Chain A
């Protein structure tokens, strides 16, 4: 069998970047609020639909903007819209459940269902495609990669870099890290927990939305894609460790590579089962994941 290794590795990088973005938002929310957001996959889905409606239907078809420019503007708009949406959601629904694992879990399950079926009712259940914003192809060694897929890898990398700089260089990022370390001590030093957790939730949602927008020109979008990405994000978090950003990035690319290789050599269903077996192995041997803190 003629195996195109470079192609497989590039595919792994592409899906890994997306999974990492989704999982980063999830782990950020978890480390600040101690809430596992089951509606996170739906944020990804909403980002994809925003890409379809704002970028494709409005910018390209109505306004006639150039593809690349429209895409970049849309990128910023999606991040802002989903950020605001997440901020309001946190204030309206999640506020009583900060720090309450079970309550937050149940309420986000309910929210996810509403968003998913709401999207199916408003936008229609059929799959929608968006034309690639970056036309053309590049060939890397023996592999060929469309510019759009390259943009997914680079865009994902840029967003991750931005998140890192935000967390390390800004005051709000410092507040988030402080709360993740020790909530009571951070609050006693004057950090506004309510605002910080809303902001963290907003950033998490924006990350998932941006991931959706990045992928949509390369693949397709429908209202039911969310749960698949959510499951991958869970697997990444377990492998990488709850609340660890480094572990999240490493786990994300690991999952991306495993999926890329197993779907080529065996099939995609077996890839999912391999991931699950990996999770079980991790749970037995190293329950806190690669970089997670041991829970007290």
Chain B
């Protein structure tokens, strides 16, 4: 029943999403919706990796690998977008496999520390090595949009590109959802609860963790190449730790229980971000503050917030009653 409800809700959400650009026809709203899609993909894939208890700070870096590989193949070799965006995501996934096999076997904090270092390393690599290929600090300018198929056109800022990205996002979210509801999802839950216990009943933790990590980074790579096509420009500074932080806030706000929580929190945060566009300087402060407040007062995220308020009300009511009883007695 719950499963059916979730799917129904997701369906409504995507129908609303696909109608929105027909009502708000300005370029600005189109771009906002595209950012929403890309952040959705990234946040959902980050949450997917966090299901097995690994916080991937390098998520923005893997997105950057996807974006760079796909853009370089398109611009330097003239390949079609439909090949390069798969190739970009594949390279990102292969890199994730190498990195994951080494680092995911470690317990404790090591994975977080190394992924924090990795995102900086990826930025340094793209900004100071192979300048004639990756364009150095200035990045790549003039990434072409996807080439049209038959009568469909996907030029930058067109309705076609928006719908293309929308369809890819819905497909990605739906497959992640199904994956999570399958047998695998239960294994992830088990690993997250107690990996020692999971190991003792014969689950190969490393295998599952690496697979989850590869899938998550593949999605990040897809999002990266779509980002490159939409923006037309990619620079090494687009894929820093700041972006990972934003994604992390999305995931934490959305809570770990439900994929819809992440989607809702992304839409909320994208709106907030657009409202505070003029105060871009304050942005990290807002994210930092919201992260602290969420963790202190609603550790289970948006969906947890309701239960949390309920619980606070209940406990204050109870303590008030206790006082009354004490006063009477």
A interface residues, Cβ below 8 angstroms from B: 30, 36, 38, 93, 96-97, 101-103, 105-107, 109-114, 116-118, 120-121, 227, 230-231, 234-235, 237-238, 242, 269, 272-273, 276, 279-280, 283-284, 287, 295
Q: Are A36 and B112 in contact (CB under 8 A)?
A: yes
Instruction: Give the A-B pair count, Cβ closer than 8 A.
Output: 108
Say which size band chain B's interface belongs to.
Answer: 35 or more
Nearest CB of B to A213, in Å:
25
B55 cross-chain contacts in A, Cβ below 8 A = 102, 105-106
Q: Are B113 and A109 in contact (CB under 8 A)?
A: no
Q: Are B287 and A238 in contact (CB under 8 A)?
A: no
Given contacts A111-B292, A121-B281, contact A279 B114 (CB under 8 A): yes
Residue in B106, B248, B284, B299 whose CB lies within 8 Å of A103: B299
- A106 and B110 CA atoms in complex are apart in Å by 15
Given contacts A238-B114, A272-B124, contact A107 B292 (CB under 8 A): yes
Given contacts A109-B288, A117-B285, contact A283 B296 (CB under 8 A): no
Nearest CB of B to A283, in Å:
6
Q: Are A106 and B121 in contact (CB under 8 A)?
A: no
Q: Are A101 and B128 in contact (CB under 8 A)?
A: no
Interface string of B81-118 (1 = CB under 8 A from A): 00000000000000000000011011111101110111
- A287 and B113 CA atoms in complex are apart in Å by 13
Q: Are B109 and A107 in contact (CB under 8 A)?
A: no
Nearest CB of A to B70, in Å:
23
Residue in A96, A113, A287 whose CB lies within 8 Å of B287: A113
Interface string of B265-283 (1 = CB under 8 A from A): 0000000000000000110
Tell me if A's interface is mostly helix, strand, loop or mixed. helix
In the complex, whether B187 has a CB less than 8 A from a CB of chain A is no
In the complex, what residue of chain B is closest to A35 when comparing beta carbons? B109
In the complex, whether B252 has a CB less than 8 A from a CB of chain A is yes
Q: Are B124 and A227 in contact (CB under 8 A)?
A: no
A230 cross-chain contacts in B, Cβ below 8 A = 116
- A45 and B211 CA atoms in complex are apart in Å by 39
Q: Are A234 and B117 in contact (CB under 8 A)?
A: yes
Interface string of B138-164 (1 = CB under 8 A from A): 000000000000000000000000000
Q: Are A105 and B109 in contact (CB under 8 A)?
A: yes
